[in-house]
């Protein structure tokens, strides 16, 4: 299911109404507090896409995020918020991509460093890597990875587990 929470609520209710009992996958924007309230017994087992292992105490990337926030995040009011971890993930990804830059930092040297970066662990999730040289998805050279996370929701509509997945086999190359 691809849409916002209002669309997803209607879609899941429609699937329930017709007795559908197969697998359901959705984008993360589908699952909000409004969705959890509207479908208190209908979210368990749904898979969603995710770009961060937010709250996964077993994930090494999340553990590092928590350590960084514990050391430098005194002014972050809600460390367990997706926006906070998202900001950390974006800035850490940029720092990783620019780690090989030499000389004057200009838009041109930054772009070159990003394009030449080696494959690197993604700061938002264990088991996901990225490389911005145009090879992850050749027809879309700005895409840095075909990997993401699949999160399976628990009875409360919260991610109960995360699994790194590679979408290379389902993405057409042209």
Q: Which residues are CB-contacts of 9 (< 8 A; sequence separation ≥ 6)?
A: 34, 35, 38, 39
Question: Both tokens of residue 122?
Answer: 């993604």
Q: Which residues are CB-contacts of 87 (< 8 A; sequence separation ≥ 6)?
A: none
- Biggest alpha carbon distance in the chain? 63
Q: Which residues are CB-contacts of 43 (< 8 A; sequence separation ≥ 6)?
A: 12, 31, 35, 36, 153, 155, 156, 157
Which pLDDT score, from 0 to 100, does residue 141 have?
A: 87
Helix, strand, or coil here: 49?
strand
Which pLDDT score, from 0 to 100, does residue 160 have?
A: 87
CB 148 within 8 A of CB 167: yes
Which pLDDT score, from 0 to 100, does residue 136 have?
A: 84
Which pLDDT score, from 0 to 100, does residue 74 have?
A: 92
**CA 28 – CA 47 distance, rounded (Å):** 9
**pTM recorded for the entire structure:** 0.81
Which pLDDT score, from 0 to 100, does residue 87 have?
A: 94
Per-residue pLDDT of the chain (174 residues; tens, 9 = 90+): 999 999 999 999 999 999 999 999 999 889 999 999 999 999 999 999 999 998 899 999 999 999 999 999 999 999 988 889 999 999 999 999 999 898 999 999 999 999 999 999 999 999 999 999 988 888 888 889 989 999 999 999 999 889 999 877 665 555
Which pLDDT score, from 0 to 100, does residue 161 have?
A: 87
């Amino acid at each position: 299911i691809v849409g916002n929470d209002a669309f997803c609520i209607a879609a899941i209710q429609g699937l329930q109404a017709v007795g559908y009992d197969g697998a359901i996958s959705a984008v993360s924007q589908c699952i909000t507090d409004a969705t959890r309230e509207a479908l208190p017994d209908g979210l368990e087992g749904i898979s969603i896409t995710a770009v961060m292992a937010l709250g996964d105490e077993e994930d090494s990337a999340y553990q590092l995020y928590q350590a960084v926030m514990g050391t430098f995040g005194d002014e972050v009011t809600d460390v367990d918020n997706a926006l906070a971890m998202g900001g950390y993930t974006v800035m850490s990804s940029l720092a990783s991509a620019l780690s090989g830059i030499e000389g004057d930092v200009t838009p041109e040297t930054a772009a070159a460093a990003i394009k030449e970066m080696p494959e690197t662990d993604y700061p938002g999730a264990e088991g996901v890597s990225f490389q911005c040289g145009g090879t992850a998805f050749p027809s879309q050279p700005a895409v840095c990875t075909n990997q993401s996370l699949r999160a399976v929701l628990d009875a409360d509509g919260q991610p109960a587990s995360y699994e790194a997945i590679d979408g290379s086999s389902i993405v057409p190359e042209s």
